[in-house]
Amino acid sequence: MRDERVCHIMTAEVLSIDIRESITEAMRLFASYPVHHLPEVDDTGVIGILSSADLLKLEHFLPKSGAQASAVLLNSRFKIDKLMRSPVFTAKPDDIIADAASRMVTNAVHALPVVDDDNHLLRIVTTTDIMQALLHGIGLKTTSEQNDANPKPTELVMRRAIEAANSATLHKTDPNSIAVSMLYLNERNGLLETLRVDVVRYMQSGQHERLHSHLIKDLDKLAQRAQEVELPIPL
């Protein structure tokens, strides 16, 4: 996934709202469409982002006198520019997916508006988009092509290969470092499998905060191991 670009996974269409619109219009958009993030725009381009979670706190200010009174109160007391996250973190279509994911983790955000060189909104990429890419693979060959080119070893064959690699490393009979590479890749595969399981749990649980911290730890472990060993990128 390290060579794939944001343009390959970003949402096909994006809903945005003008900064001059009312709070109740933002609430209407969240209620009417299956989105959780609204990029805020003005004549210069993207200037912020509003999430559905940002508006949940407004429920405490709603009067019991009816919808019309609630709308008047909210629009008089709250403005979009006071609730949105700004400055906004964005991505470009040609950004590496891994870089976009790192930007989300570092800044604790779940979406990046995708903009052009003039800061005009093009699309949006979310944590869900990235997790789907991780789960399903991006830019991979078809299953039949993979099986023909790289036949999958059985569990017994893998176990024996790992045992042989451990033995070769222990007895220093690994002049071409094949055994060392085998053991490293096996360890990395284990880390990736842990990450995959945590991603599935995270998506099924509605993006629970505790599972989010697990994902960050999984990514940190992968990053640490990647820094320790420099491997060639598969073609």
Residue 145 identity: E
Does pTM surpass 0.85? no
**Confidence class of residue 127 from pLDDT cuts 50, 70 and 90?**
confident
Of all residues in the chain, what percent carry a pLDDT higher than 70?
A: 75
Q: What is the pLDDT of residue 47?
A: 95
**Confidence class of residue 40 from pLDDT cuts 50, 70 and 90?**
very high
pLDDT of residue 16 exceeding 50, the answer is: yes
Each residue of 158-217: pLDDT tens digit?
A: 788 888 888 888 888 887 788 888 887 888 778 777 777 777 676 666 666 677 777 777
Higher local confidence (pLDDT), 230 or 47:
47
CA-wise closest residue to 119 among 49, 44, 48, 50:
44
**In the chain, domain spans:** 6-136, 143-228
- Which element (helix H / strand E) includes 122? strand 121-126
pLDDT of residue 59 exceeding 80, the answer is: no
DSSP state of 218: H
Q: Exposed e or buried b for every residue in 40-70, given b needs 16+ CB within 10 A?
A: bbeeebbbbbbbeebbeebeeeeeeeeeeeb
Fold of 6-136: CBS-domain (3.10.580)
